């Protein structure tokens, strides 16, 4: 556990989530000016494999990262790209039953139009 890794970990913990690797890099750089981008990518990958964080593959642009806590899905607006968490109570257990074997993780992204974008489109 290096200073760099601890810093990245802390940033993840103190942040609501949905950060990109580069945003994390920028935050880290504020407190450790010569940390390298590659280090951030390497550590994020390690933390993902250790299930400490979850990688969200976005329909557009770079991946985003969430600290893993309560399992949840994501609501993605196809209009503006805004991303919201949605609780998906019991989905994981249901899936496990349906599949008949242990689920390691899942990613659920629901595409919709947020109220603002729906309004725009209606006009």
Partner DNA sequence: ATACATGCAAACGGTTTGCAGAATA
Partner DNA sequence: TATTCTGCAAACCGTTTGCATGTAT
Residue matched to tokens 């249901």: 94
Helix (H, G, I), strand (E, B) or coil at 32: coil
Size of the site for a copy of itself (CB under 8 A): 25
Phi then psi dihedrals of residue 59, to 5 deg = -60, -30
Cβ at position 18, least distance to a copy of itself in Å: 16
Size of the site for DNA (CB under 7 A): 22
Helix (H, G, I), strand (E, B) or coil at 38: helix
Cβ at position 21, least distance to DNA in Å: 4
When binding is defined by CB under 7 A, the residue of 10, 13, 22, 51 that contacts DNA is 22
- Tokens found for residue 59: 């329909």
When binding is defined by CB under 7 A, the residue of 13, 31, 36, 95 that contacts DNA is 36
When binding is defined by CB under 7 A, the residue of 14, 30, 34, 49 that contacts DNA is 34
């Amino acid at each position: 556990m290096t200073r760099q890794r601890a810093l990245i970990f802390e940033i993840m913990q103190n942040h609501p989530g949905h950060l990109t690797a580069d945003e994390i890099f920028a935050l880290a750089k504020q407190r450790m000016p010569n940390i390298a981008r590659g280090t951030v990518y390497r550590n994020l990958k390690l933390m993902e494999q250790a299930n400490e964080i979850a990688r969200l593959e976005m329909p557009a642009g770079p991946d985003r990262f969430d600290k893993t806590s309560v399992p949840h899905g994501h609501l993605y607006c196809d209009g503006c790209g805004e991303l919201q968490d949605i609780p998906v109570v019991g989905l994981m257990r249901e899936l496990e039953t349906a599949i008949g074997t242990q689920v390691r993780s899942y990613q659920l992204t629901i595409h919709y139009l947020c109220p603002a974008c729906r309004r725009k489109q209606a006009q």
